[in-house]
Amino acid sequence: MCCLALAYFVIQPEAVVALLAARETALGGKEGMNIIRLAFEGTVGWSVKFGRKEAEQRLIETLKTLAEKEAELSRETRSGDLLGQALIEACERSMEGVVVSLLQMGVSPKRMKAGASVPLVVCLRKRKWSMAKRLLKGEADPNEADERGVSAVEAYLKAAEAYLKAAAGQQRDQLGLTVLEEMAKVGANFNAPLQDGHTPMSFAIIEMKLKDEADFLFHNGASLQGKRRGEGEEDVRGLLMTCILTHQWALAKWLLAWGADPNEFSISRKRGVCIASLPLVKAMESLQRRLLTTC
């Protein structure tokens, strides 16, 4: 480990200043990323000895030193990439104070390059709602997808689903809904399909059965479209029809109350033949079968 890397690892801003001052060239990409990683790893030891708050404060001072010196040494301002990586590290480690400081330093919360992690998605995946709100207020793009193609809306819904499964019977975490509100303010697309083919609305209702989220999505432009049935196929089954076919009558009542069209045709394809049907017809068929089985 070189002297500069060691100074970052032990989070000594004074030593970092002296060592950077002696350099005549900017940090290379790989070298800079390794140093950022070492600085964050160094906070573990400091947290044990002096507390997390002190460790984060020293880390912030060290990162400020890096930003100032790199801006002097490089006309291309490579510090933007380095501090962008630092922002992702801070989100991964749930260091809200560091996130706030980096945003104040002008670090962009947007994805640095294609195929990279997205700070907002990281925070939502970890259910760090207050950090996510800070990123959104710092002009994070709620429609950016990370290296796996996951958007902020999908990350929120999947995190909420995981929370419900882990906290069965406990009180809902209402703070998450305020994050959805912030995403709506900055233009989140609530109709973009998720990785599994669901729309945000269909996932919220069919998978999660969350009326609050579904109600919010509907009143912020989400369509009542159901899950896509296959690669390259246009979704032709409405969400109301999906609820009827799966006998989820309470959910069907919610959708009708929100204005779902009871006369919307759904198309099923069987052996190359398209068959159109109405929700009312399918509901009557279902009730008829139920009556026959109970008689």
- pLDDT tens digits, one per residue of 160-172: 888 877 776 566 6
Q: How many CB atoms lie within 10 A of CB 63?
A: 28
Range of the domain at 95: 1-107
Residues 66 and 124 in one domain: no
Instruction: Write down the pLDDT at residue 70.
Output: 57
1, 92: one domain = yes
| Mean local confidence (pLDDT), 170-198 | 86
Q: Which helix (H) or strand (E) holds 184?
A: helix 175-185
Q: How many CB atoms lie within 10 A of CB 290?
A: 11
Number of domains forming the structure of the chain: 3
Mean pLDDT of all residues belonging to the chain: 76
180 plus 245 within the same structural domain: no
For residue 225, what is the DSSP state? B
Looking at the structure, do residues 132 and 103 belong to the same domain, yes or no? no
227: tokens are 């899950």
Question: Any residues with CB less than 8 A from the CB of 106 and at least 6 apart, and which?
Answer: none
For residues 88 and 134, membership in a common domain is answered with: no
Percent of the chain with pLDDT over 90: 22
pLDDT at residue 157, rounded to an integer: 92
The tens digit of pLDDT for each residue in 5-16 reads 555 555 555 555
Residue 9 shares a structural domain with residue 53 = yes
- Provide the pLDDT confidence category of residue 92 given band limits of 50, 70 and 90: very high
Q: Is residue 258 part of a domain?
A: yes
Q: Which of 106 and 124 is assigned the larger pLDDT? A: 124
Express each pLDDT in 34-73 by its tens digit: 677 777 776 766 665 667 787 788 888 878 877 766 544 3
Residue 102, CA atoms < 13 Å, CB-side half-sphere: 31
Mean pLDDT along residues 213-242: 72
Specify whether 211 is located in the same domain as 295. Answer: no
How crowded is residue 66: how many other Cβ atoms within 10 Å of its Cβ? 23
pLDDT at 119: 94
**Spatial separation of the C-alpha atoms in residues 142 and 155, rounded to whole Å:** 10
Average pLDDT over residues 79-105: 84
Residues 135 and 201 in one domain: yes
Q: For residues 61 and 35, state if they share a domain.
A: yes
**What is the pLDDT, as a whole number, of residue 235?**
45
Interval 249-266: pLDDT, tens: 887 888 888 888 788 766
131 and 75 within one domain: no
Decide: 36 and 6 in contact? Cβ < 8 Å: no
Residue listed under structure tokens 């390794």 = 34
